[in-house]
Structure 1
Amino acid sequence: MMPGNHTIHYHEAEEGGGLGWMVEFLRSMGKPVAATAVVLLAVVLSYLQKLSLEGEMLYAMFRAFLQLSVIGFVLQFIFNQHNAGWILLAYLFMVTVAGYTAGQRAKQIPRGKYVAGASILAGTSITMLLLVLMRVFPFTPRYIIPVAGMMVGNSMTVTGVTMKRLRDDIQVQMNLVETALALGATPRQATHQQVKRALVIALSPVVDNAKTVGLISLPGAMTGMIMGGASPLEAIQLQIVVMNMLIGASTISSIMSTYFCWPTFFTKAYQLEPKVFSQ
């Protein structure tokens, strides 16, 4: 049970001592292995249709299995430590990988990986701090790491789209932006429409997902709790919290990315940087 005015109950599995969890993990791998039959069916269909995706499908399945297995052992280790340092280390690792991935989407932006990383860090840390201060989640690895992972993942996608779209729109409308700058507009004023368009496009999927949650499909967090034995009423409480925090973190991250991009878009004389928009 978590503290707060509106208490939320969460289902937790009991932890075994010593290496018991590893033995239990190996015993429970029967179902995941059996589920590979679905992938094998997809491989056969790809071969029959001559899609040439068989190798990629098998590689993707193997990589997903390996990555999830490794992260499962890592999380089990961190959960058993009860140390705030491991929480911060795992969080910073996720932000670093997310910043690199989002920066790859906007390769034309100088120091794009750092811009994306700083934006994601700002959005997710502010949101996480508010949730902890309001006692929605306790500051423990079992809660913070999964929650941070969801926020970082969504912020990564939104930030990458915002940065790329903003740069591309400014490039297409360089004449309008340069005219506004020549008339005395600040970079913010000259690119207001481009910033607005980039943010709307990037955030629309997150907002649309919140509008249709539960009507089209049951989200991952809610599904996981129900399959883990929690009641649907408990599951929807958690999912409401998740949707709220995803919108908050994504919005902050995407807006921050537009501010962090400006030093790379403009010279000190408030002119568009030719190196950024000549590619």
Structure 2
Amino acid sequence: MSLTAVAFTLLFVAITVFVSMRQKLGLERDIVIGTIRATVQLLAVGLVLQAVFRTHHLLLLVPIIVVMIAIASWHAARRGKGLRGIALRIGIAIASTEAMIMLLLLGLHIIKSTPQYIISISGMTIGNAMVIAGLFLNQMRRDIESSRGEIETLLSLGASARQAIQLSIKRSVKASLIPTIDGMKTVGIVQLPGMMTGMIIAGADPLQAVRYQILIVFAFTSSAAVTSIILSLLTYKLWFTQAMQLRQLGKE
């Protein structure tokens, strides 16, 4: 794709800004900032990856993946505002998921141990885990608020923090997995995923592209479940004070 063609893609942004202005949505500033950030970030990543792919040193991948996990954790932690240490716990959950996926893929020789494969799949895995973490925390916040009376009653009857909040955890884990499971049901029929589409556009054999997409879909499903469950185990105590009282959401 030429630079001229890339420049023409700004028409899509212009249309979005126009719709926002026309409907008085007030999203123009966010759209412009998002466009600039996305462009700068993608160009920067492209230059970094180009250099890494040329060196073929796998050790260079470690700081890149660490940075990706740190940024993903910080972003998802915004959904858990008021919960002390939430960013660290999200980081542990995402890192554990990333380690599991990479160990299986590399250990079983499903993918090659090259920067191209490791960085690409790690980026998708970490990004997916970040979204799942955000969905889980959002649902937990809503569920706890709506079930506050029930949880406080269980606590007054002598239930532990885990027992009192167990139903909220189950509902939140389930809710965070619904988009991933729904995506599995419609992939290839309603939507053609990005990785598969990108490979086909690049000239790869469609069947080969499908095989890699199946890998990503199954890995995403597993990483979503693992991330959500690990995060639930690491964070359920954060919703309570040291006196075992249900924390006021949004407050320290």
User: When the two structures are superposed, what TM-score results if normalisation uses the length of structure 2?
Assistant: 0.89
2:251 pairs with 1:272: no
> CA offset at residue 28 of structure 1?
3.5
Q: In structure 1, how many angstroms separate the alpha carbons of the residues matched to 2:54 and 2:122?
A: 18
User: What's the counterpart of residue 57 of structure 2?
Assistant: 83
2:126 pairs with 1:152: yes
> CA offset at residue 232 of structure 1?
1.1
> CA offset at residue 34 of structure 1?
2.7
In structure 1, list runs of 5 or more residues that go unmatched.
1-26
2:9 pairs with 1:35: yes
Matches within 5 A, 1:194-233: 194-233=168-207
User: What's the counterpart of residue 104 of structure 1?
Assistant: 78
Q: In structure 2, how many angstroms separate the alpha carbons of the residues matched to 1:128 and 1:101?
A: 22
Q: Is the 8 A contact 2:101 2:223 kept in 1?
A: yes
Residues 100-144 of structure 1: CA deviation (Å, up to 9, x unaligned): 000011102111111211111112221221111111112221001
> CA offset at residue 47 of structure 1?
5.0
User: What's the counterpart of residue 150 of structure 2?
Assistant: 176
Bigger helix share: 2
2:101 pairs with 1:124: no
Q: In structure 2, how many angstroms separate the alpha carbons of the residues matched to 1:48 and 1:185?
A: 53
Q: Is the 8 A contact 2:241 2:247 kept in 1?
A: no
> CA offset at residue 275 of structure 1?
5.6
RMSD of equivalent CA atoms: 2.4
Change (3 A) 1:40 1:183: closer
Give the AA of the match of 1:258: S
User: When the two structures are superposed, what TM-score results if normalisation uses the length of structure 1?
Assistant: 0.81
My pick for the range that moved more, 199-208 or 112-121, is 112-121
**Alignment partner of 1:230: what SS?**
coil
219, 231, 235: which one aligns with 1:261? 235
Q: In structure 2, how many angstroms separate the alpha carbons of the residues matched to 1:196 and 1:68?
A: 37
Q: In structure 2, how many angstroms separate the alpha carbons of the residues matched to 1:42 and 1:176?
A: 44
How many residues align? The count is: 252
**Alignment partner of 1:191: what SS?**
helix
Q: Quick one: percent identity of the two aligned structures?
A: 33
Change (3 A) 1:62 1:173: closer
User: What's the counterpart of residue 71 of structure 1?
Assistant: 45
Q: Is the 8 A contact 2:152 2:246 kept in 1?
A: no
Residues 136-165 of structure 1: CA deviation (Å, up to 9, x unaligned): 112221001110111111111111221232
Change (3 A) 1:277 1:193: farther
User: What's the counterpart of residue 15 of structure 1?
Assistant: none
Give the AA of the match of 1:30: T
2:136 pairs with 1:162: yes
